[in-house]
A and B are shown apart, each in its own frame.
Chain A
Amino acid sequence: MITFENISKKYPDGTEAVAGLSLEAPDAAITVLVGPSGCGKTTTLRMTNRLVEPSGGRILIDGVDIRDRPVTQLRRGIGYVIQQAGLFPHRTVADNIATVPRLLGVDRRGGRRRAQELMELVGLDPVLAGRYPHQLSGGQQQRVGVARALAADPEILLMDEPFSAVDPIVRKSLQDEFLQIQAEVGKTILFVTHDIDEAIRIGDKIAVLREGGHLAQFAPPKELLEKPADEFVERFLGLDRGVRSLTFLPSGGLVLRTEPVLTVGAAPTPAQSALPWLLLVDGERRPVGWVRPDRLDATPITIGHSFVSGSDSLRAALDAAVLCPTGWATGVDAQGRVLGVASQDEIAVEIRAAHDRTVEDWLAQASAEPRDVSAARPTGSVGR
């Protein structure tokens, strides 16, 4: 557990980067520091491994002041990942990953072995071990950065916008893989980002900071979306936080219809001919597109994107339905085979059902603590 006790940072020129921040980052969880530029999130992160010294307050790791240890020893015990990866251009991938174990006295062979294990963990092809960083893509470099930070098996990981410098598609896959790795290693992670979507996707708890280093709200992502503490947080979350909160509703409850699914080349049944739209699938049940039953050879209308039933959220399902001109979302399994389709209306019903459950929980909570007025603050998107 990392504890920030009334931490502040004032620079000699008078600018205040962090003002009296108190925060507790729980063990084995991802705590995201998010906020606009100038909110002191990076400064806060860098104070944790003493790259920046606070001007007031103290930081404890598992109850022990970080100043009680020699600074290099502290840093070797904390993994550090930065935006540009900061890989050593003059060392191979394997040597880069083995950096901290080598600093801690592990011999060359031990370092190599450790590097191999970590390359496997972060999904890097072993042939890359002998390459130099500039020979890798941005996404691969970032993986090496994560592997290097994990090499000495530190309890704590500090990550400063680690996925911001790669394109959105690579970023999404890096985030997903990062969450899988975290499920495996269970580190205590402080993660800085300016991207609220990234914060909501990966954070177990999110600290929203505002300019001048004030903590605006510290809450799990779902609570953040449902009960923003003030107008600043509300604005920072953006206008689509209602839709975004669907991220937390699983799509597994949606009953997918299979009647409109037709294999290419097959003749529609009389029941299918009566439907407005049919979804064509190929021999492996992969989606081809939508057609009218009476015009099967016309160019199919693209499905936009599909959602993975069960593992994707209702947000993905709703987006798929809104995106597709026919208004139907295509549900697939993990291998991309069509399981069935759901309409916008059906998804809306599912969202209502999930909200009804939330409202019941909420009312139950409210009656348990009748005096807690702030918990009952109306937030618009819930229970309407």
Chain B
Amino acid sequence: MSIFDLPSEVQSSFLGLIGIQLEVSLGACAAGLALALPLGQLCLRLPRFYPPVLGVVTVIYSLPSLALFVLLIDVTGVTETTVFIPLALYSLAILVPGVVDALRSVPRDVIDAANGMGYGRLRRYLTVELPIALPTLVAAIRVALVSTISLMSVGGLIGNYGGLGDLITLGHTFFYTRLVWLGLLSLLVLAVLCDLVLRGAQRLLTPWARQYRSAA
């Protein structure tokens, strides 16, 4: 018997668990980013919105995930969505300030030059601000993704929606230490791998940034 063989209670193969884990974590982070980008932009355009927005996302982050899951079951049932929504909301606590800091890291004179040369607002955002903000932004996304991967394990408590975290929950229920270890180590490896992939992608996308930060 391989250490990756799972008892029938898990209702999924090891690879299947990894699939669910990635699908929900990456999806939640992507949804979080899709919300954080316009929210961050709003906070930059109207700075007085930033403190309240930051307050709200931080309060959301402090809500116990179990409570959120249970409340959401009434709305979305025992589904992946029930796990997905809180995770996406949690990621905002990291991603909103991440987006704001990243866009603030774009030097003023660069924006001034872009305006002076006749960039439209959208073009400036997409081709000047976002690319220059990318290293800082990716740093925030990395933290958000790793924390989402780990937070997701609580989903195991409401059924089989914790991804690899299910192993930990079941191992706990049945005093099955091997499962706990397997779940824990697999989560760790997966989180590190995701982080490495993001770092690699950032290096590929921002060749200019390699010595820029030490020079700046």
**Residues of A in contact with B (beta carbons under 8 Å apart):** 49, 51, 71-76, 78, 80, 82-92, 99-100, 103, 132, 134-135, 148, 158
Contact = CB atoms under 8 A, between A and B. Distances in A.
A90 B115 CA distance: 17
A142 to B, nearest CB: 12
B119 interface: yes
B64 interface: no
Nearest to B115: A51
Contacts, number: 74
A78 to B, nearest CB: 8
B208 A89 contact: yes
B3 interface: no
Interface string B132-146: 100000000000000
A72 B118 CA distance: 4
Interface string B107-135: 10110111111111000000010011000
A158 B115 CA distance: 13
Contacts of A92: 208
A52 B134 CA distance: 29
A87 B106 CA distance: 11
B173 to A, nearest CB: 51
B165 to A, nearest CB: 38
Contacts of A78: 116
A134 B216 contact: yes
B113 to A, nearest CB: 3
B115 A88 contact: no
Contacts of A73: 118
Contact of A100 (B118, B120, B208, B212): B118
B208 A84 contact: no
B211 interface: yes
Contact of B117 (A80, A83, A90): A80
Contacts of A134: 208, 211-212, 215-216
Contacts of A76: 117-118
A90 B132 contact: yes
Contact of B113 (A71, A74, A87, A90): A87
B68 to A, nearest CB: 39
A89 B109 contact: no
B206 interface: yes
A75 B206 contact: no
Interface of B: 107, 109-110, 112-120, 128, 131-132, 206, 208-209, 211-212, 215-216
Q: Which 3 A-B pairs have the closest CB atoms?
A: A86-B113, A75-B118, A80-B116
A99 B212 contact: no
A12 to B, nearest CB: 16
A75 B121 CA distance: 13
A111 B212 CA distance: 24
Given A89-B132, A90-B206, A135-B211, A84 B117 contact: no
B112 A103 contact: no
Contacts of B116: 49, 51, 75, 78, 80, 82, 86, 158
Contacts of B216: 89, 134
Given A88-B113, A89-B110, 13 more contacts: A49-B116, A51-B115, A75-B118, A76-B118, A83-B109, A84-B109, A89-B208, A89-B212, A89-B216, A90-B206, A100-B118, A103-B117, A134-B215
Nearest to A99: B117
Contact of B109 (A51, A72, A82, A100): A82
A78 B120 CA distance: 15
A82 B109 CA distance: 8
